[in-house]
Amino acid sequence: MARTAKSKGKNSLTIGIDLGGTKIAAGLCREGEVLHKVVVPTNAAQGFDAVVAAMAEAARQAMGDTDPAAVRGVGVGAAGQIDSQTGAVLYAPNLNWRQAPLGQKLAEALRLPVRVVNDVRAATMAEWKYGAGKGLHSFINIFLGTGVGSGLVLNGTLCEGATNTAGEIGHICLDPAGPLCGCGHAGCFEAYSSGRGIENEVKRRLQAGAPSALREKVGARLDQITGPLIGQAAREGDPLALEVLAWAGRHLGLVLANLHTLLNPQKILLGGGVMALADFFLPAAREAMHRHILSVADRGEDLLGRARFENDAVLLGGSALFA
Amino acid sequence: MARTAKSKGKNSLTIGIDLGGTKIAAGLCREGEVLHKVVVPTNAAQGFDAVVAAMAEAARQAMGDTDPAAVRGVGVGAAGQIDSQTGAVLYAPNLNWRQAPLGQKLAEALRLPVRVVNDVRAATMAEWKYGAGKGLHSFINIFLGTGVGSGLVLNGTLCEGATNTAGEIGHICLDPAGPLCGCGHAGCFEAYSSGRGIENEVKRRLQAGAPSALREKVGARLDQITGPLIGQAAREGDPLALEVLAWAGRHLGLVLANLHTLLNPQKILLGGGVMALADFFLPAAREAMHRHILSVADRGEDLLGRARFENDAVLLGGSALFA
């Protein structure tokens, strides 16, 4: 019996890696807890082999003097389009990688099993296994950051889609005549309710002459408009900042209503840096959600939740691939 | 070996029942084929017990002289909110039923196992097991009829949702300032691209004075505007009919694009009576779909398909519950 317990303890150690465009975070994890974390620069410009070497070194440092034989595997969450079957990065614009055999090369370097998934799906795994989605069979994890992404857990499975793009919620079109999105299309959800969408709308309204304390803060330097600055203006009662955040909230609420009408999940979790401004956009989002939701299906406040993990979500989700 | 073959033959017989507001269709089925079908009036006004008795009688007639012991079970597709675990009809507005123990009572009457599902999900099961969705692990089956509904097969499972409303695509909001829907909300997908939505838009444009041959056909009797009449006008080149069908198509295309961006299914199947007008709205739908779809995910014409089953879809889907 002691052997079983020891074996279980051994097997519960995993490495999670968050591969970002600027930073690599590697952590030795046990059941949703980060025991030891190492963060190093990605140095993407040095190319694929150097990044893989940096990831392997970060993983070794995170393990410290832990016997590698005690580690079940290494799970990586990476921004981009990933073939989770082979561990290959099909396309990662922020790293300038195409068809990069990340899983294979990292496994060779570390002599451990490696799995790779998309970063938003990794964060969704973390919520599902250890966080606000624990025990649920269907939930949607929406990440409101510079852009917007989501992970979908439906009927007890994480959806990857037919060609690996399931969950690209940032690019559903809310209004064909809406603001231009970075993807080249008009009216994408991301053009309203992401950090970039909010910043761009503030800039558009300033350029159109809307009165705002932000004008005094940045003058003609509209490129200095940032999320934190908008948040500060909102806290000081600036009408432009408050109106744009409510506008972002109304569009979020419409999407939340439609997600519920279409998929009827148990929960919709919200996370990401934009949630720092939740006080200013979430009331408008809730109001719009209840206005647009299929009435018989409205489950009130029970539907919305907050993602539990912030900085460590992708890393923990990677670790969960071997949990 | 003969015994195995015989036993397999026995087990492959099932009864499917399509319980509609006006008609009950019961069929003896084998692996997606209707061997013998009986259609009787529902007579919903006579109440629950009478309808169950009529369903049982129709099932017996469909079986003919087949030994009931050779029938694996009876699967029912019914419009409304169904608890597929218990076979109870939670709410069926067209039958005026609430909390009706349909599965239990029909099983008692027929002395056979009975399962009940929502009719759109039954039709989706039929496509999945025997039709245009055969062999797929993820597809969406959209039914364009008087209203609009859908069934979602994702990651190899049919989604029912947390409170049994998954797939209610007719009530996702496309435009908060859009036309009023029967549900009381504005801008629902169903208010654009259903039979009723198309009829209502034709009526609105006629009332607003738009020129159309339909005006001569019905005079002031706008209630005589029907789908077939609009189709006839479209075939005769009537600009109003053609414009409204293209309008319905553009909104359908936007929904198709967003479904693909969000869920990335292998296929989206289209079915229902409105498809009789497909020549007039599908080109606009395809054009809008490609305009709005996430570019990297656009899989061209491969994405769309046509549902295979028409009148027998619900019945066959019922039979598939025991396949």
pLDDT, one tens digit per residue, over B199-248 is: 999 999 999 999 999 999 998 899 999 999 999 999 999 999 999 999 99
Alpha-carbon distance B170 to B183, whole Å? 10
Between chains, do A157 and B154 touch, taking CB under 8 Å as contact?
yes
The separation between the first and the last C-alpha atoms of chain A, rounded to the nearest angstrom, is: 21
Give A161 to chain B, closest Cα distance, Å: 5
User: Using CB atoms, which residue from A163, A176, A266 is nearest to B162?
Assistant: A266
Same domain, B251 and B140: yes
Give B8 to chain A, closest Cα distance, Å: 30
Same domain, A170 and A285: yes
Give A62 to chain B, closest Cα distance, Å: 35
Q: Six-digit token pair at A174?
A: 């809310």
Give B20 to chain A, closest Cα distance, Å: 21
Alpha-carbon distance B179 to B199, whole Å? 12
pLDDT tens-digit profile, chain A (323 residues):
333 334 445 568 999 999 999 999 999 999 999 999 999 999 999 999 999 999 999 999 999 999 999 999 999 999 988 998 999 999 898 899 999 999 999 999 999 999 999 999 999 999 999 999 999 999 999 999 999 999 999 999 999 999 888 999 999 999 999 999 988 999 999 999 999 999 999 999 999 999 999 998 998 899 999 999 999 999 999 999 999 999 999 999 999 999 999 999 999 999 999 999 999 999 999 999 999 998 766 777 789 999 999 899 999 999 999 98
Which chain A positions have a beta carbon within 8 Å of B263's beta carbon? 152, 159, 161, 166
Which chain A positions have a beta carbon within 8 Å of B173's beta carbon? 254, 257-258, 261, 292
Question: What domain range is B196 assigned to?
Answer: 135-306
Averaged pLDDT of chain B: 93
Same domain, B98 and B62: yes
Between chains, do A166 and B257 touch, taking CB under 8 Å as contact?
no
CA distances from A178 to A174, A205, A290, B139, B174 (A): 7, 14, 22, 29, 13
Contact A257/A288 with Cβ under 8 angstroms? yes
Same domain, B175 and B271: yes
B2, part of any domain = no
Between chains, do B266 and A162 touch, taking CB under 8 Å as contact?
yes
Alpha-carbon distance A10 to A14, whole Å? 9
Alpha-carbon distance A73 to A87, whole Å? 13
Q: Which amino acid is at B97?
A: W
Strands A157-158 and A148-154: antiparallel
pLDDT at B94: 86
Helices A48-63, A102-110: inter-axial angle, 10-degree rounding: 40
Give B19 to chain A, closest Cα distance, Å: 22
Same domain, B116 and B143: no
Residues 6+ apart with CB under 8 A from A79: A19, A20, A21, A92, A94, A95, A118, A119
> Which has more pLDDT, B5 or B259?
B259
Between chains, do A172 and B261 touch, taking CB under 8 Å as contact?
yes
Alpha-carbon distance A164 to A162, whole Å? 6
Between chains, do A295 and B173 touch, taking CB under 8 Å as contact?
no
pLDDT at B299: 73
Contact A92/A119 with Cβ under 8 angstroms? no
Same domain, A71 and A55: yes
CA distances from A205 to A195, A199, A202, A234, A244 (A): 16, 10, 5, 15, 9
B1, part of any domain = no
Between chains, do A138 and B165 touch, taking CB under 8 Å as contact?
no
pLDDT at B161: 92
Specify the 3-state DSSP secondary structure of B76: strand
Alpha-carbon distance B1 to B14, whole Å? 23
Same domain, B224 and B81: no
Contact A285/B192 with Cβ under 8 angstroms? no
User: Using CB atoms, which residue from A162, A292, A295 is nearest to B138?
Assistant: A162
Contact A322/A72 with Cβ under 8 angstroms? yes
Residue B121 has pLDDT above 60, yes or no: yes
Same domain, A105 and A160: no
Alpha-carbon distance B129 to B136, whole Å? 9
pLDDT at A11: 66
User: Using CB atoms, which residue from A168, A254, A265 is nearest to B297?
Assistant: A168
Domains contained in chain A, number: 2
Residue A25 CA to chain centroid, in angstroms?
15
Q: Six-digit token pair at B246?
A: 């293209």
pTM of the complete model: 0.92
pLDDT at B294: 82
Same domain, A142 and A170: yes
**pLDDT-based confidence at B271, cuts 50/70/90?**
very high
Q: Six-digit token pair at A234?
A: 């909102």
Residue B3 has pLDDT above 60, yes or no: no
Which chain B positions have a beta carbon within 8 Å of A294's beta carbon? 165, 168, 171, 183, 185
Which chain B positions have a beta carbon within 8 Å of A162's beta carbon? 138, 264-266, 299
CATH of the domain at B245: 3.30.420.40
- Alpha helices by DSSP H, listed for chain B, are 2-11, 48-63, 102-110, 119-130, 190-193, 195-207, 213-218, 227-235, 239-263, 278-292, 313-320
pLDDT at A3: 38
> Which has more pLDDT, A300 or B262?
B262
User: Using CB atoms, which residue from B162, B168, B262 is nearest to A172?
Assistant: B262
Give B234 to chain A, closest Cα distance, Å: 26
CA distances from A189 to A183, A306, B260, B267 (A): 11, 19, 15, 23
Q: Which amino acid is at B85?
A: Q
Which chain B positions have a beta carbon within 8 Å of A159's beta carbon? 138, 154-155, 263-264
Residue B45 has pLDDT above 80, yes or no: yes
B195, part of any domain = yes
**pLDDT-based confidence at B28, cuts 50/70/90?**
very high
Tokens 């364009």 sit at which residue? B144
Same domain, A119 and A145: no
CA distances from B97 to A60, B51, B233, B236 (A): 64, 11, 39, 43
**pLDDT-based confidence at B106, cuts 50/70/90?**
very high
Alpha-carbon distance A180 to A255, whole Å? 18
Between chains, do A175 and B173 touch, taking CB under 8 Å as contact?
no
Q: Six-digit token pair at B206?
A: 């006629």
Average of pLDDT values for B17-43?
Answer: 96
Strands B33-41 and B71-78: unpaired
Same domain, A78 and A171: no
- For an interface test with A, give the residue of B150, B155, B250 to mutate (most A CBs within 10 A): B155
B191, part of any domain = yes
Same domain, A116 and A252: no
User: Using CB atoms, which residue from A154, A173, A299 is nearest to B155?
Assistant: A154
pLDDT at A310: 86
